[in-house]
Amino acid sequence: MLNLLIFGPPGSGKGTQSVRLAEKFNLIHLSTGDMLRAEIASGTELGKRMSAIMAKGELVPDEVVIEMIASKIDSAKGFSGFLYDGFPRTVEQAVALEKMLGRRGMKIDSMLVLEVDHDELVKRLILRAEQSGRPDDKNPAVIENRIDVYKEKTEPIINYFKKKGVYQPVNGVGAIDDIFMRLSEKIEIFFK
């Protein structure tokens, strides 16, 4: 089973590209953001506790998302692998994921990092706020905080995985189809 990380700051296109890549390569798309929003939409106790944290653009506690991912990995059958979107987001989450995979005889095969400049990120998220209205896109200060949290807590994971030889930067600016092709080329190698 392949284990691929799609990585990048808020608005870099992780979700957009993951849906298409998962379909093309028969992967399970595991988005911790989507899982948390589903908890909120269902009105669960967990969702209620997490919604205030997410509305501020802060990270929810590591153990919450690690638990969510572990339960999904064990229920997966008949797929070529996993595509992790928005997870891991801290070095602690990265270490936990590696341990989780190690116990099951797997490892991270590739970390695909979408590179998008700050102004383009903000532009995309403000546009999405007008169209679909995700609460954490509505306030420009929250968008900036999400980008700051990414830089402070999430970006250090890049160095962590660089040392393991799985880091693959991808230009995330341009037409969605072109970026999809750039990412696909990096994944096709595993199917040859």
Footprint on this chain of ligand AP5 (rule: CB under 6 A): 8, 10-16, 32-33, 36, 53-54, 57-60, 65, 86-87, 89, 93, 124, 128, 136, 146, 176, 179
Which 8-state DSSP code applies to residue 139? -
Q: CB-wise, 57 or 81, nearer to ligand AP5?
A: 57
| Residues comprising the chain, all counted | 192
Q: CB-wise, 1 or 126, nearer to ligand AP5?
A: 126
Q: CB-wise, 25 or 87, nearer to ligand AP5?
A: 87
- Least distance between ligand AP5 and beta carbon 191 (Å): 24
CA torsion 50-172-116-26 (nearest 10°) is: 20
Burial class, 105, CB count within 10 angstroms (exposed 0-12 / middle 13-18 / buried 19+): exposed
Q: CB-wise, 146 or 170, nearer to ligand AP5?
A: 146
Question: Residue 136: how many CB atoms within 10 A of its CB?
Answer: 19
- Least distance between ligand AP5 and beta carbon 72 (Å): 13
- Least distance between ligand AP5 and beta carbon 10 (Å): 3
- Least distance between ligand AP5 and beta carbon 133 (Å): 11
Q: CB-wise, 92 or 109, nearer to ligand AP5?
A: 92
- Beta pairing partners, 169: 113
Q: Which residue is nearest to ligand AP5 (CB)?
A: 33
Which residues neighbour 187 within 8 Å (Cβ) at sequence distance 6 or greater?
2, 4, 21, 25, 110, 112
45-55 and 32-42 helices, crossing angle to 10°: 120
- Least distance between ligand AP5 and beta carbon 7 (Å): 9
